[in-house]
Amino acid sequence: MDRMRLFSIGKLAKLTGVHIQSLRYYETIGILRPAMIDPDSGYRYYTFFTDQDR
């Protein structure tokens, strides 16, 4: 996966104006999924592409 197209949860929050805790909640209820989770750090990375775009 091209990491240049991925955003950390903090960067995504800044770009969208949505609080980090809200993004985590959206993940919990299944409406937002990270494109990648770093296996070493557990950091979530997001993209503006949908599953259909991949």
Alpha carbon dihedral 27, 30, 35, 36, in 10-degree steps, equals 60
Which pTM was predicted?
Answer: 0.74
Query: Residue 7: phi, psi to the nearest 5?
Result: -120, 140
pLDDT in tens, 26-48: 999 999 999 888 999 999 899 88
Helix H, strand E, coil C: the string for the chain is CCHHHCEEHHHHHHHHCCCHHHHHHHHHCCCCCCCEECCCCCCEEECCCCCCCC
* Residue-wise pLDDT tens digits, 5-29: 899 999 999 999 999 999 999 999 9
CATH class of the region 3-46: mainly alpha
Q: What are phi and psi of 37, to 5 degrees?
A: -120, 120
